[in-house]
């Protein structure tokens, strides 16, 4: 797995998060991680085809997702991840992945992305653990967003 594939997603995530929720994230340590369902988490899954085949998954605690969505909605506080919240967090993943695919295209890689799929903990029971290239984004006062790239 090429480590440089995660860089466009990292660059894009930092940029989008700064624009959308006015927080400058810092990065944790890059590593290979076994990705498996975790209690009280949400995953935004986006497929990739073209030069790279696989998926990128953005993982975060549901409480972090609610804070991000509230900031995206101008401070309107959500207390549960309802349909509107899922739509907003899905759009965040779409914005990050769309920008990352543009960066990859500028580097000479043709990558198409699928529409985002939001998966909550209770929907992830049949998801088998997989190895992924992972880097956490740390957002002061909000929490952590894990960027997990799985390509073949």
Q: What confidence tier does 52 reach under pLDDT thresholds 50, 70, 90? A: confident
Give the integer Cα–Cα distance in Å for 77 and 71.
8
Strands 31-35 and 130-139: antiparallel
pLDDT confidence of residue 36: 75
Q: Which residue has the tokens 């209690």?
A: 39
Of all residues in the chain, the percent with pLDDT exceeding 90 is: 68
Whether the pLDDT of residue 67 is over 90: the answer is: yes
Average pLDDT over every residue of 60-85: 91
- Homologous superfamily (CATH) for 3-151: CheC-like (3.40.1550.10)
- Look up tokens 């909605």; give the residue: 73
Q: Average pLDDT of the chain?
A: 89
pLDDT for residue 130: 80
Indicate if the pLDDT at residue 128 is higher than 90. no
Residue 18 CA to residue 2 CA, distance in Å, equals 26
**pLDDT per position as a tens digit, 109-121:** 999 999 999 998 7
Helices marked H in 1-152: 6-21, 62-72, 83-106
C-alpha to C-alpha distance for 33 and 10, rounded to whole angstroms: 16
Residue 58 has pLDDT above 70, yes or no: yes
- Whether residue 97 is predicted with pLDDT greater than 80 in this model: the reply is yes
| Half-sphere CA count of 42, side-chain side, radius 13 A | 26
Q: Hey, what's the torsion of the CAs at 89, 94, 100, 104, to 10 degrees?
A: 160
Q: What is the pTM of this model?
A: 0.90
Query: Distance (Å, rounded) from C-alpha 87 to C-alpha 12?
Result: 19
Give the chain's radius of gyration (CA, Å). Answer: 14
The CA distance from 140 to 63, in Å, is: 14
Q: Enumerate the domain spans of the chain.
A: 3-151
SS3 category, 105: helix
Q: How many whole angstroms separate alpha carbon 119 and alpha carbon 62?
A: 11
Mean pLDDT of 11-34: 93
pLDDT at 126 over 60: no
Q: Kindly indicate the confidence band of residue 127, based on its pLDDT and cuts at 50, 70 and 90.
A: low
């Amino acid at each position: 797995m090429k480590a440089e594939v995660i860089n466009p997603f990292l660059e894009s995530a930092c940029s989008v998060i700064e624009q959308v929720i006015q927080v400058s994230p810092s990065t944790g340590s890059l590593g290979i991680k076994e990705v498996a369902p975790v209690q009280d988490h949400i995953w935004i899954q986006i497929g990739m085809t073209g030069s790279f085949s696989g998926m990128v998954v953005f993982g975060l605690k549901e409480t972090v997702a609610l804070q991000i969505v509230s900031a995206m909605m101008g401070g309107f506080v959500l207390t549960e991840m309802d349909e509107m919240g899922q739509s907003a967090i899905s759009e965040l993943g779409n914005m990050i992945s769309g920008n990352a695919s543009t960066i990859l295209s500028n580097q000479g890689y043709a990558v198409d992305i699928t529409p985002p799929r939001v998966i909550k903990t209770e929907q992830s029971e049949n998801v088998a653990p997989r190895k992924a290239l992972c880097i956490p984004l740390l957002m002061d006062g909000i929490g952590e967003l894990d960027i997990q790239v799985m390509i073949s």
